[in-house]
Amino acid sequence: MYNLHCHSLLSDGCLLPSEVAVRYMALGYTVIAITDHADYSNIKNAVKSIVEFTSHWPKQSPIKILPGVELTHVPPEHFKPLSKIARDLGAKIVVAHGETPAEPVIKGTNRAALEADIDILAHPGLITDDEIRLAVEKKIFLEITCRSGHCETNAHVVDLALKFNAKLILNTDSHKPEDIVPPDYIIKVAHKAGLSSEQIEAINADVEDFLKKKGAL
């Protein structure tokens, strides 16, 4: 099982990256990305720190840790330059914090993020048909999330994704120990959003192909 959106105390999480990794490993996950929140104020430190951490993670470990970042609450015009900075610093997974009813996110965030070099648009609960089409064109994953509040619009994201054949990904968006849930819980969340077992298997296969291209598998 894979989870490409989680946080440590490098931003607003409460666990060291090593604690995050070991807790996911204990639940049977094989690949995670640590994607702490960043904007211009902290992106260099956040990405450099997680790249340093992952460079020392034991290669023989049963869990692979990818360095990432989540561009969060930034002005729409910042997504392109910040995604480039993140890539240049070594981020393998770039997540953008999408527009959602659960938080006051700047209007236009979803589109600006999709126009940048990102891999995942997180909890994009206010996404439109045109934005879904852009996600399809750029092969960007749309997130189905376990995160409280954000998960309320999972069904809307699923409906549009299935309508336009967009790529989906299942993530925890964990910040604290109780957010680090077993794979079965994520599957329950996906079913609640309207996905069948066969569709969930196809989603996981897409993510596996993506990770192979990233050299993570």
Domain map (residue ranges) of the chain: 2-213
Integer Cα distance of 162 and 89 in angstroms = 34
Per-residue confidence (pLDDT) for residue 167, from 0 to 100: 98
**Parallel, antiparallel or unpaired: strands 141-145 and 168-171:** parallel
What proportion of the chain, given as a percentage, has pLDDT over 90? 98
Please, which pLDDT band fits residue 217 given cuts at 50, 70 and 90? Answer: confident
Residues 100-125, mean pLDDT to the nearest whole number = 97
Q: Determine if the pTM surpasses 0.85.
A: yes
Residues 162-180, mean pLDDT to the nearest whole number = 98
Q: Where is 184: in which H helix or E strand?
A: helix 183-192
CATH architecture of 2-213: Alpha-Beta Barrel (3.20)
Nearest partner of 85 among 48, 133, 129, 138, judged by Cα: 48
What is the tens place of the pLDDT at every residue in 55-85?
999 999 999 999 999 999 999 999 999 999 9
Residues 6+ apart with CB under 8 A from 193: 144, 151, 154, 155, 157, 158
